[in-house]
Structure 1
Amino acid sequence: MRLLQRQGNDSFRLVYRVDEQIPPYAILSHTWGSEEDEVTFKDVVDGTYKKRKGYRKLQFCAKQAAEDGLDFFWIDTCCIDKSSSAELQEAIGSMFRWYKDSAKCYVYLTDVSTKFFDYLDQFPESKWFTRGWTLQELLAPKDVEFYTTEAISIGRKSQLVSMIAGITGISMEALQGTPLSHFSVDQRMKWAEGRKTTRQEDLAYSLLGIFDIQMSLFYGEGRERAFK
């Protein structure tokens, strides 16, 4: 696992291989923009990350982590070297645990804005609730807080639990931390109904942590084979 560490106001460094002694860290949950927008691992290594539109996500996460007394944070777009298939497979297999072990999870909603009077009405309509990977990002962490695109807090999962249960169809018990093994396979599969991923295999791979499964990943095998 790699973590980002803030250095000053506008610079960051990657801290390599902290698996054995992982310090407290924040973690970001978000929906991806275009490939051209998101900050990548290579951008951080090369120091060119400020050119990307997604740089504001790093700024937000670093600032919020600092306010919460955390020196380190993790963002999927730039803490994983996706050019390495072995590293990508390891990361996907560890993702649920990384979210679960985080001190804070910040959900950054780019489509919910305080520029509009009814921004709280936008919250249930956010595309974040329709994506495959965000299911485990909602369920795994101990402390989840939602933010608008202007980095204004909407509230914690614990405060919004009734609303989130209504939006997602997930039971309040699961949202409040009851072990997922207490829920049937059918119940957990129902939580994932209607969610979308960019790659069809990820519809299955995004559920590995939900079901506590370890398996090899084969992108290109298709959705049906990935579920077998």
Structure 2
Amino acid sequence: MLSHRWGWEEKEKEPLLQDIQGKIVYKLNSPGGIVKLRKFCEIARDAGYHWAWNDTCCIDKSSNVELQQSLNSMFIWYQHSVLTIVYLSDVLPSSKSGALERIIIFYQKDWTPYLNNRCRNHKKSTAIMKELEVVTGIDRQALINFSPGMSDA
């Protein structure tokens, strides 16, 4: 499975089922999402797998029923995937350790930082994280170190 952020700009347009159906992915040569799809398939093949699954082109979005069923099933598909390839389009090859840290900044309705806190990452704000812990009932460390999964859902 490919875990990735969808490209929204025209040059990054993600391929749909109709764009690749009946075609050989390795021979497609248009820019943007096709390159990402082709590279994903190559990596999966080189790892010894014969099949690869990418949400943008493996779900028929023209069928509302299939789309809804697929969206409802995706968590389980990812959970049972034997290989998940994570493509980080915003992490540059020159990145150093720490590039995967996820930053959270809370904004108010008028787009000003919550509590006027202008720090780079609100996960490092004791006041904000304590308040979040109180209102959600979720331990502050669990919020800061959030890891999606089925345990402690």
Tell me whether the two structures share a fold, i.e. TM-score over 0.5. Answer: yes
Residue 58 (structure 2) aligns with: 79
Measure the CA separation in 2 of the matches of 1:41 and 1:35: 19
1:170 aligns with 2:146: yes
Residue 19 (structure 2) aligns with: 43
Measure the CA separation in 1 of the matches of 2:36 and 2:143: 25
Measure the CA separation in 2 of the matches of 1:110 and 1:167: 25
Match of residue 42, structure 2, among 63, 81, 91 = 63
Measure the CA separation in 2 of the matches of 1:44 and 1:106: 20
Q: How does 1:133-212 map to 2 (within 5 A)?
A: 169-170=145-146, 180=150, 182-183=151-152, 188=153
Aligned-pair CA distance for 1:123: 2.2
Measure the CA separation in 2 of the matches of 1:84 and 1:52: 26
Distance 1:109-1:45 versus aligned 2 partners, 3 A rule: same
1:122 aligns with 2:89: no
Please, which runs of 5 or more residues in structure 2 have no aligned partner?
106-140
Aligned-pair CA distance for 1:35: 6.1
**TM value normalised by structure 2:** 0.61
Quick check: 47-56 or 58-67, which moved more? 47-56
- Please tell me whether the aligned partners of residues 39 and 52 of structure 1 are also in contact (alpha carbons under 8 angstroms): no
CA RMSD of aligned residues (A): 3.1
Tell me which amino acid in the other structure corresponds to 1:170: F
Residue 42 of structure 1 aligns to a residue whose secondary structure is: helix
Measure the CA separation in 2 of the matches of 1:52 and 1:46: 19
Task: Give the 4+ runs in structure 1 shifted more than 6 A.
Answer: none
Measure the CA separation in 1 of the matches of 2:97 and 2:78: 25
Aligned-pair CA distance for 1:169: 2.4
Residue 15 of structure 2 aligns to a residue whose secondary structure is: coil
- Please tell me whether the aligned partners of residues 38 and 53 of structure 1 are also in contact (alpha carbons under 8 angstroms): yes
Distance 1:169-1:33 versus aligned 2 partners, 3 A rule: same
Query: Whose strand fraction is larger, Structure 1's or Structure 2's?
Result: 1
**What is the count of residue pairs matched by the alignment?**
113
- Please tell me whether the aligned partners of residues 28 and 107 of structure 1 are also in contact (alpha carbons under 8 angstroms): yes
Deviations 1:44-74 (A, max 9, x none): 1264953241112212211211222101000
Measure the CA separation in 2 of the matches of 1:68 and 1:108: 16
Larger Cα Rg: Structure 1 or Structure 2?
2
Deviations 1:159-198 (A, max 9, x none): xxxxxx9996226xx6xxxx72x41xxxx4xxxxxxxxxx
- Percent identity, aligned pairs only, is 35
Please, which runs of 5 or more residues in structure 1 have no aligned partner?
1-26, 131-164, 189-228
Measure the CA separation in 2 of the matches of 1:106 and 1:168: 24
Match of residue 83, structure 2, among 104, 121, 124 = 104
- Please tell me whether the aligned partners of residues 124 and 167 of structure 1 are also in contact (alpha carbons under 8 angstroms): no
Tell me which amino acid in the other structure corresponds to 1:31: R
Distance 1:113-1:58 versus aligned 2 partners, 3 A rule: same
